[in-house]
Every structure is written in structure tokens, then in C-alpha cells.
Amino acid sequence: MKRFIQWWILSLNLMVSCVVGASDELAALSAQSQAAIEQGNYIQATNLIGLLEKQANTAHNLYWQTWAQAMGGYLALQQRQFEHATQYLDSALATATVHNWPELIVRTSLYRGQLRQQAGQWLQ
């Protein structure tokens, strides 16, 4: 199951790069961040997500700013920082919903489901 989720997330990364027309650099930072999280290298992931967010801010690219926020939420989730994860993911989902970015809505919703599961909030 974990392999399927990793494959699914990677395919979402590739789809986002194509659909949104993202710059190669932002897409590469996103993929590197995801890989660092999956490998458990949270310090490197934190640095990469920070760099992604900084470059997205510089480019005034709200999509990638929101993407970085979702990645930050996923990173917080992996570190069992549930309060931070909730804040990041709720904010990213709200922005993605307002702008109707389906791939970001799906990814953020998946992370929120994992958050609820890990936090023992099955009914939510």
C-alpha cells in the first residue's frame, strides 16, 4: 500500500508539472522535497520546502506557494506535529479549493485523511 501511495504521489507531481506549466526549477524542488520526506530526511526536506516557498513567493506564483504549504503540512504530519500539519493542510486546501486546483485538492485531502488516521480521529 505504501508503494502505491508513493507511486501515486510521484505521478501527481509529474501531472502538476505538465498541467500547470510550472517552471522546471520549482517542479524539481517539489520532487526533491517529496523524496527527502519519503526517505525520512526531514532536515533536508525542511530546507527544500523553504527554498520552494521562497522561489514561489519571488515568482508571485500562488499555485506553488500553496503547493509548498501542502508539502509543509505533509512534512509536519510525518513528524507527528499534528497541530502544525492541520494548520498547513487546512490553509492549503482552502486556497486550492478557491482556485479550483483539482490535483492540489486531491493531494491535500489525502494528507488530511492520513492526518486524521494518525491522530486517531477516525470519524472526521
**Is the alpha carbon torsion for 81, 85, 86, 88 positive or negative?**
positive
What radius of gyration, in Å, describes the C-alpha atoms of the chain? 13
What predicted TM-score, i.e. pTM, was given to this entire model? 0.77
- pLDDT averages per 10-residue partition of the chain, 124 residues: 59 53 79 92 95 93 95 94 94 97 94 87 60
Q: What is the pLDDT of residue 79?
A: 93
Eight-class DSSP state of 21: T
Report whether 103 contacts 19 (CB < 8 A): yes
Cell of 103: 490535483
Q: What is the pLDDT of residue 23?
A: 75
Q: What is the pLDDT of residue 120?
A: 78
Cell of 75: 512534512
Cell of 21: 506549466
Cα separation, 20 vs 3, whole angstroms: 26
Q: What is the pLDDT of residue 3?
A: 59
